[in-house]
Structures are given as C-alpha cells and as structure tokens.
Amino acid sequence: MNTPTIRKMGIPLLAGAMGLSFSVFAEDHEMHAQGLYSAEDLLGAEVFDANGDEVGNVEDILLGNDMGLHSIVVQTNEFLGIGERDVVVKRGDFTARVTDDNPMFGDVSYNVHVTAAGEELKGFEEYSEEWWNSTKENLNKAWKNTKETTQSAWENTKHATATAWHNTKESMERDDDKAGQE
C-alpha cells in the first residue's frame, strides 16, 4: 500500500473519530462547553423537533463498539396520527442543549433537538429487536473491517520503514566504501 492510499484512508478515519461527540449548547445557542456531561441527566430529557414542537423524551442512549455515542432512543408522544413508539435518532441528527444557565454538579438539565420535523419524524427507524440485531451486525462488520484495514496499514508501514532503513543503510555503506577507496 502506498503513502497516498494510507493518507486517503487516514482522513476518513480521523473525520469519523472527530464526529464521535454530540453537540451541547446553552438554551441561548451560544457555545458554553461544560467539560463533562452526564448520560443519566440526558435520560428522560424532553425532545423537540426542528419546528420546536415537543415530540417525546430520551428513553435510552446507545453506544458503539468504540464506546462512543451511536444514537439515542426517543419515546415519541402521540403525534402525526401515530401512537407512542420508540424511535432511533442517530448521532448527527440531534443536538443536546443545556437548559440551565449555571449547571451544578448533579443538577444539569437538557433538551434534545432533532433535525427533522413533521412527517420526516415518521421515517425514523423503530427501536426493535430486529433493528438492534441488524445494527449490531453492521457495526461489528465495520469494526472488523476497520481493525483489518488498520492492521494492514500498520504492517505496510512497518515493511516500508524497514525497507527504507535497509536501503539507506546500504547506501551509506556504499558511500563509506567509496570514501575509504579514495
């Protein structure tokens, strides 16, 4: 594997790693980093759609193999002619906002805002055993592929480094031999 290929692979991996977090904003939408966030406080938070209408509450928080946030489960209210149900909202499709002006230890409140509104909310996948098994299988395949790609890249890097060092060493020895003959 050549260096440009390794660089091409590294950029998406870096971008993916950077996307593991979810955004937390104060109610006034100015960035107020809190430093630490409690999953316990996020559970039960009210969830609003893109129009600002309350659509449910956070029922669960799902993590991937890397223990990074994968998605949240929202228990929806009765809306748009559909009954209460649990839907999966993936990372990137929501933001969590701190509702307190000055949150204290053990006393932080959040609201969650979903990027979709109205009819779009019907399109979120239902949280079910079938969804769980399918997603688990897909994530395990992705994890295995990432592991294999990383291992392959590491082996190629070790080989390329060893080859470069060997070639440099031979070149230096030839130069030393030439200098000794002169």
pLDDT-flagged residues of the chain (< 50): 1-31
Which pLDDT does position 22 carry in this prediction? 42
Per-residue pLDDT at 103: 63
Q: What is the DSSP string of 26-81?
A: ETTSS----S---HHHHTT-EEE-TTS-EEEEEEEEEE-TTSSEEEEEEEEPSBTT
pTM equals 0.58
pLDDT score for 11? 40
**Which pLDDT does position 139 carry in this prediction?**
82
The whole-angstrom separation of Cα 156 and Cα 163 is: 10
Give the tens place of pLDDT for each residue, 75-114: 988 765 556 789 999 999 998 888 876 666 667 788 899 9
